[in-house]
Chains A and B, each alone.
Chain A
Amino acid sequence: MSDFLTDVEAAIPGLRRYALALTRDADAADDLVQDCLERALTRRRLWRPTGTVKSWLFTILHNQFISDRRCLNRRAGDLSMDDALQQSAADNPMASVALAETARAIEALSLEQRTTLLLVAVEGLTYAEAATATGVPVGTIMSRLSRARRALADKMEAGPRLARVK
């Protein structure tokens, strides 16, 4: 049982990251994660070790987000990455410019593409896990993912030369 808790704890950074990408609002994201954790603890006995705790949590979080959005008709926040950027700008101005580019490119993706990219490329879920979490077939995951990567790669390549001065 404490293994379960350890697994849950280990998943929290990823859950927060994903929630931020979904809500783009720091408080709303942590609300979402908190609801997800509460729900996971309530349903703890329902969890069957057929998959990982992590992918199970992502599924709960995603469903929570969808149902919250449906109920509250909540619009995505405008957090973008300002806070994070101001932090890193002090350390490395060049990096922050590049990061801003990246952020703009990722936030320009559709919600579906962005979430799929984050689940697989950042959080390391398998296609099957990402499909379960977002409630779509694996084929949809594959196409969303390739389109997201392609769009991102194109933007990076065509990005302003200024950022690439070396």
Chain B
Amino acid sequence: MSGRNDHLADGDMPLIDDIDLSAYLDGEARPGDRRRIADAIESAPGFARKAQLLRNADAKARQYGDALLASAPPARLCVRRMVAERRAKRTRRLVAAGVVLTIAFLSFVGGWIGHGLFHQQTFIARSFVEDAAAAHTVFSVETRHPVEVTALESGHLTAWLSKRLNIPVTQADLSGAGFKFIGGRLLSSRSGAPAAMLMYQDAEGIRATLYLARNRGAEPSSFRFFSSSEGRTESVYWFDRDISYGLTGAYNRETLLKLAKGVLKAMDGA
């Protein structure tokens, strides 16, 4: 490139090289060189012929190019299809992300609700067993009127309580465990619904009470234990579909559990 401007000094015979000519034919010659190149082609037939040869070369190249492209483009080069596939892929990805987000959201909501339900369950169960323990504390110490209806009228008692509580109340026979049935009474409960208490007594005159109510929203459960805040009594309580049971006494858990199983067996038999 550097050598070609040397010829400019050559006055009458303007010299141009192949690069000049080639660029001129492409319309890419520098503006300052155009006049000079055009003049050279005009004045020297050799340059014009050369220009024609270069043009022929381009024509040959184009023929070559056309011949190369003998086959139609394969389907995989269809841009519109590529775009559609990309869009479909993106949609699938969005759907997948949406599914993940939805699952995450539902898990969160489920957790939230479950958490609430758990608390609600805990609350229901806790209220019930506290009522049972409180009733025991109040009535088990009574000497003259521990019960409202005595064991002598047990048939009347169970029929009455069954009717008021709207659950089948039976007088469980716990004599096998050394407990004698004394009687029972109707009670109120924290929920405002009626409850019943059946009282038993061992050979030493120590009492155990069975507190019953219609189950209001507690999940059926197996035996659970509760110690009153004073620590004087233990309770075992459980829920079935219809009935809530709370057995309380100043006994250890093994004894209470044995009684609870006796109650359960009697109720199943009912």
A interface residue numbers (CB < 8 A to B): 5, 8-9, 12-13, 16-17, 20-21, 26, 30, 33-34, 37-38, 41, 81, 83-85, 87-88, 99, 102-103, 105-106, 117-118, 120-123, 126-127, 139, 142-143, 145-150, 152-153, 156-157
A143 touches B80 (CB 8 A): no
Among A30, A41, A126, A152, max chain B CB count under 10 A is at A152
Is B18 a contact partner of A81 (Cβ separation < 8 A)? no
Residues of B with C-beta under 8 A to A34: 76-77
**CB closest residue in chain A, given B69:** A17
One of B64, B69, B74 near A99 (C-beta < 8 A): B64
Task: Determine if B79 and A84 form an interchain contact, defined as CB atoms under 8 angstroms apart.
Answer: no
Residues in A whose Cβ lies below 8 Å from that of B73:
12-13, 16, 30, 33
Is B19 an interface residue when CB atoms closer than 8 A count as contact? Answer: yes
- Taking A139-B1, A145-B22, A153-B54 as contacts, is the C-beta distance between A16 and B67 under 8 angstroms? no
Which of B19, B60, B83 lies in contact with A152, CB distance below 8 A? B60
Given A13-B69, A99-B63, A8 contacting B79 (CB threshold 8 A): yes
Which residues of chain A are within 8 angstroms of B26 by Cβ–Cβ distance? 120, 127, 145
Some 7 contacts from A to B, beta carbons below 8 A apart, are: A5-B83, A17-B68, A26-B71, A38-B82, A102-B64, A145-B23, A149-B54
B88 contacts partner chain A, Cβ-Cβ < 8 Å: no
Q: Chain B residue with minimal CB distance to A147? A: B18
User: How many interface residues does chain B have, given as a range?
Assistant: 35 or more
Residue of B nearest to A87 (CB): B70
**Is B56 interfacial (CB-CB < 8 Å)?**
yes
B74 and chain A: residue at smallest CB distance? A30
| New A-B contacts (19) at CB < 8 Å, excluding given A12-B77, A41-B79, A156-B53 | A16-B73, A21-B65, A26-B71, A30-B76, A34-B77, A99-B63, A99-B64, A102-B60, A106-B60, A118-B65, A142-B23, A145-B26, A146-B17, A149-B57, A149-B58, A150-B18, A150-B54, A153-B56, A157-B53
B161 shortest CB reach to chain A, Å = 79
A111–chain B nearest beta-carbon distance, Å: 15
Contact check, B18 vs A5: say whether CB atoms are below 8 A apart. Answer: no
For B17, B57, B73, B83, which residue has the most chain A Cβ atoms within 10 angstroms?
Answer: B57
Which residues does chain B contribute within 8 Å of A105, judged by CB atoms?
60
Q: Are A37 and B67 in contact (CB under 8 A)?
A: no
Which of B17, B53, B58, B77 is A121 in contact with, Cβ under 8 Å?
A: B58
Is B61 close to A, CB under 8 A?
yes
For residue A32, give the distance in angstroms from its CB to the closest CB of chain B: 10
Q: Which residues of B contact A146 (CB under 8 A)?
A: 17-19, 21-23, 54
Q: Confirm or deny: B119 has a beta carbon within 8 angstroms of a beta carbon on chain A.
A: no
| Chain B residues whose CB sits within 8 angstroms of the CB of A21 once the complex forms | 65, 68
A77 to B256, CA, bound (A): 92
How many angstroms from the CA of A34 to the CA of B17 in the assembled complex?
A: 40
Chain A residue nearest to B76 (CB atoms) is: A34
Say whether A84 contacts B57, CB under 8 Å. Answer: no
How many angstroms from the CA of A81 to the CA of B86 in the assembled complex? 35
The 6 nearest A-B residue pairs measured at CB:
A146-B22, A153-B53, A152-B57, A121-B58, A146-B18, A122-B65
Partner of A143, one of B19, B67, B76: B19
In contact, B61 and A41 (Cβ under 8 angstroms): no
Q: Which residues of A lie under 8 Å from residue B35 when comparing CB positions?
A: none
A84:B61 contact, CB within 8 angstroms: no
List chain A residues, Cβ under 8 A from B65: 17, 21, 118, 122-123
Q: Determine the distance from Cα of A102 to Cα of B74 in the docked complex, in whole angstroms.
A: 26
Tell me whether B18 and A156 are in contact (CB under 8 A).
no
Residues in B whose Cβ lies below 8 Å from that of A85: 67
Which residues of B (31-88) have their CB < 8 Å from a CB of A? 50, 53-54, 56-58, 60-65, 67-71, 73-74, 76-77, 79-80, 82-83, 86
Which residues of chain B from 124 to 162 have a CB within 8 Å of any chain A CB? none
State whether the Cβ of B28 lies closer than 8 Å to any Cβ in chain A: yes
